[in-house]
Structure 1
Amino acid sequence: MSTIVSFKNVQKTYDGETLVVKNLNLEIEQGEFLTMLGPSGSGKTTCLMMLAGFETATQGEILLQGKPINRIPPERRNIGMVFQSYALFPHKSVAENLAFPLKVRKVSKHEIEQKVTKALRMVNMEKFANRMPAQLSGGQQQRIAVARALVFEPALVLMDEPLGALDKQLREQMQYEIKQIHEQSGLTVVYVTHDQGEALTMSDRIAVFNNGIIQQLASPSELYEKPENAFVARFIGESNELKGVISALDHTRCTVRIDGGHSIRASAGAAIHAAGHASISLRPERIVVGEQARSCDNVFHGGVKDLIYYGDHLRVVMQICGRNDFIVKLPNDGAARQLRIGDSVDVGWMADACRALL
């Protein structure tokens, strides 16, 4: 794969004092779906806006297909853009909305008709060419916004929280459709969201932002299974966090003495060193209870404080290891349904199921 976008030592400040983006170095590969994920104010949207040309980098350089674009205006960057607000012209029909970026580029009338039809077909909206935006549902408007970003066959498509205004069911449907378009077209997509589930579902790679810095850049499975620090572990999925001190370290394994005197065997994150403080990250679905727990590397006794029914699984709130909000997710099977509030049970997990992180 070849690199299509490069951020080289890019910084951004709005007030001359606080850096919103700090020394960003990032390469985006041709044809990949890369998501910039993070909480509000983490710098992800600013990075997207600098790439689009709506913001200017304070320092550093952004390259598109090997060429510097810092001084090139947005309309000359050959980049498609999809916004959360759709940003369709209300006085133009669907076909006219799609034709607009082609007319600006002086495309012939015959070619415009062909490209508009092709783009509408990609989002399954051929029958709506003559509708006005106000006659469309939110999901239909977003499909048209996606088609408009694709119609002039850009080198790159940027999407800024495009599904934020949709309800859950429609959002999930659009996630699938956008991913299908990406796979079928071979386009490079840079997607911004604060929704971790959306990022995990759609992305080839995810850049997790916090305080203007990429905390980790990896595939969805690697981020979830092997977070590099406590922030990533907390932000990606759900995690029980137990704080303590390293009492033993042996290559990839360590022992952490947590508050209350308990010791936990865990896999050691890359930055862990002997005798230092650490935070253990443990996914709720990696924990077992009852007889199964007794064969685990880590076994404790805990009390059931609450049981919450989720259909396919039970969410069990437990008192264990000095915590009153320890979460266990159990499949909704016969054993799980036998649990009752107030029960005292064995709780266990393997050392490889939890990670010691900084």
Structure 2
Amino acid sequence: MGDAEALVRFRGVQKTYDGQTLVVRDLDLDIRRGEFLTLLGPSGSGKTTSLMMLAGFEVPTQGDILLAGRSVRDTPPHKRDIGMVFQNYALFPHMTVAENVAFPLSVRGMLKSDQRDRALRALAMVRLENLGNRRPAQLSGGQQQRVALARALVFEPTLVLMDEPLGALDKQLREHMQIEIKHLHESLGLTVVYVTHDQSEALTMSDRVAVFSDGVIQQLDSPSGLYEQPRNSFVARFIGENNTLNGVVESVAEGYATVRLATGEALRARAVAIDGPGAKTSVSIRPERVHIEGEPEGPVSRLAGVVSETIYHGDHMRVRARVGGNDEFTIKMRYRAGRPIPKAGEALSVILGAEDCLALDPV
């Protein structure tokens, strides 16, 4: 990737707060101009610390961060040309909505008349142009988040950083705001770096997702790449729903492994991240790729199962069963009128396509 394409570059970045534990380890990451990149991971994984170092609120212990080809190690936050949106909105209660949005312009010394025009344009982007004279306390949570977003965009920054911006909203409003932010990103050609621990949010909004664990990016990929081709068991378990079957590799040939499960049964799986014959492995299978009638194309494995419960979800049903040594094995079935519904205690045969089973590192 050339310098022109990479707006942000992390180079060998490390961060420790106590001189012993590395919160971020040897981070090398290029962020492309105009992309929506999400930093995803559980609490303490290093994603927020990485964002705060880019914003200038934290300083790398080691390594460098380049913005548009220039190091920003010694550049204070307000001189980095970066917009920020936080979970708690951080609006000034004594200012009107328009004054809040104009605040970044006032600290940059812009004329009052120009501030007002730019603030109204930014409020129009988030469809709040008629609420400029209200105070933040008179707005709903969703409206306050829109104001925070307008304030981050008003000075036309090179880069917009968002730290769990929708975490305080209810589910329906959060989903609506996800689409709004994505549309703004596309229409304005913004470069967005977004932090969340919500994998559904990351898959919905992002061009690429960096999955963090223990201060290291485990996988950097498109949403579909993460879901369909996880590189290790952490990513497979963290992204989407996942079934895990533990076993030992018996043989490997032509990219496929034969895995012997604790129950004595064998299955075939794509060899993704294994050490070879005799090594322990965890096999990953998505619930919607499990069959109990009909067969997928290509080689298949059949495992015996016993139904624990069936849960109706409207458009689909979830069958929980004991399969291959996993007592919480989940099968996602599309609902169809007249289709027989498995009942608790019933035996069933589970059919798994080798292409849908991924042999990964042991859990």
Asked whether the two chains share a fold, i.e. TM above 0.5, the reply is yes
Q: Is residue 319–residue 325 contact of structure 1 (8 Å, CA) maintained in 2?
A: yes
Which ranges of structure 2 fall in alignment gaps of 5 or more residues? none
* Distance in 2 (alpha carbons) for counterparts of 1:317 and 1:336: 17
- Tell me the equivalent position of 1:31: 34
* Distance in 2 (alpha carbons) for counterparts of 1:65 and 1:243: 46
Task: Select which of 71, 78, 83 maps to 1:80.
Answer: 83
Q: CA offsets per residue over residues 1-56 of structure 1, 9 Å max, x none? A: 71000000000000011000001000000000000000000000000000001111
1:1-358 aligned at under 5 Å gives the runs 2-270=5-273, 272-292=275-295, 297-334=300-337, 336-358=339-361
Q: CA offsets per residue over residues 217-241 of structure 1, 9 Å max, x none? A: 0000000000000000000011111
* Distance in 2 (alpha carbons) for counterparts of 1:311 and 1:111: 53
Task: Give the CA deviation at 1:347.
Answer: 1.2
* Distance in 1 (alpha carbons) for counterparts of 2:134 and 2:316: 44
Q: Secondary structure at the match of 1:146?
A: helix
Task: Give the CA deviation at 1:113.
Answer: 2.1
- RMSD (Å), alpha carbons: 1.5
Matched residues, number = 358
Aligned partner letter, 2:215: G
Q: Secondary structure at the match of 1:208?
A: strand
Task: Give the CA deviation at 1:114.
Answer: 2.2
* Distance in 1 (alpha carbons) for counterparts of 2:343 and 2:296: 18
Task: Give the CA deviation at 1:323.
Answer: 2.2
* Distance in 1 (alpha carbons) for counterparts of 2:301 and 2:29: 39
1:49/1:294 Cα in 2 relative to 1: closer, same or farther (>3 Å)?
closer
Q: Is residue 232–residue 273 contact of structure 2 (8 Å, CA) maintained in 1?
A: no
Q: Is residue 297–residue 353 contact of structure 2 (8 Å, CA) maintained in 1?
A: no
Task: Give the CA deviation at 1:291.
Answer: 4.8
Q: Secondary structure at the match of 1:334?
A: coil
Q: Secondary structure at the match of 2:288?
A: helix
1:294/1:236 Cα in 2 relative to 1: closer, same or farther (>3 Å)?
closer
Q: Secondary structure at the match of 1:89?
A: coil
Q: CA offsets per residue over residues 145-181 of structure 1, 9 Å max, x none? A: 0110000000000000000000000000000000000
1:295/1:63 Cα in 2 relative to 1: closer, same or farther (>3 Å)?
closer
* Distance in 2 (alpha carbons) for counterparts of 1:303 and 1:330: 16
Aligned partner letter, 2:264: G
Q: Is residue 8–residue 60 contact of structure 1 (8 Å, CA) maintained in 2?
A: yes
Identity value in percent: 56
Q: Secondary structure at the match of 2:231?
A: coil
Task: Give the CA deviation at 1:346.
Answer: 1.7
Mean CA deviation greater in 296-305 or 50-59 = 296-305
* Distance in 2 (alpha carbons) for counterparts of 1:336 and 1:346: 16
* Distance in 1 (alpha carbons) for counterparts of 2:328 and 2:339: 18
* Distance in 1 (alpha carbons) for counterparts of 2:294 and 2:183: 44
Q: Is residue 261–residue 325 contact of structure 2 (8 Å, CA) maintained in 1?
A: no
Q: CA offsets per residue over residues 241-275 of structure 1, 9 Å max, x none? A: 11111111123211111112111101111555343
Q: Is residue 10–residue 59 contact of structure 1 (8 Å, CA) maintained in 2?
A: yes
Q: Secondary structure at the match of 2:88?
A: coil
TM-score, L = length of structure 1: 0.97
Q: CA offsets per residue over residues 130-149 of structure 1, 9 Å max, x none? A: 11000000000001101100
* Distance in 2 (alpha carbons) for counterparts of 1:219 and 1:180: 18
TM-score, L = length of structure 2: 0.95
1:294/1:175 Cα in 2 relative to 1: closer, same or farther (>3 Å)?
closer
* Distance in 2 (alpha carbons) for counterparts of 1:337 and 1:174: 39
Aligned partner letter, 2:58: E
Q: Secondary structure at the match of 1:35?
A: strand
Aligned partner letter, 1:21: V
1:128/1:198 Cα in 2 relative to 1: closer, same or farther (>3 Å)?
same
Q: Is residue 330–residue 336 contact of structure 1 (8 Å, CA) maintained in 2?
A: no
Aligned partner letter, 1:44: K
Q: Is residue 48–residue 192 contact of structure 1 (8 Å, CA) maintained in 2?
A: yes
1:336/1:273 Cα in 2 relative to 1: closer, same or farther (>3 Å)?
farther
1:100/1:75 Cα in 2 relative to 1: closer, same or farther (>3 Å)?
same
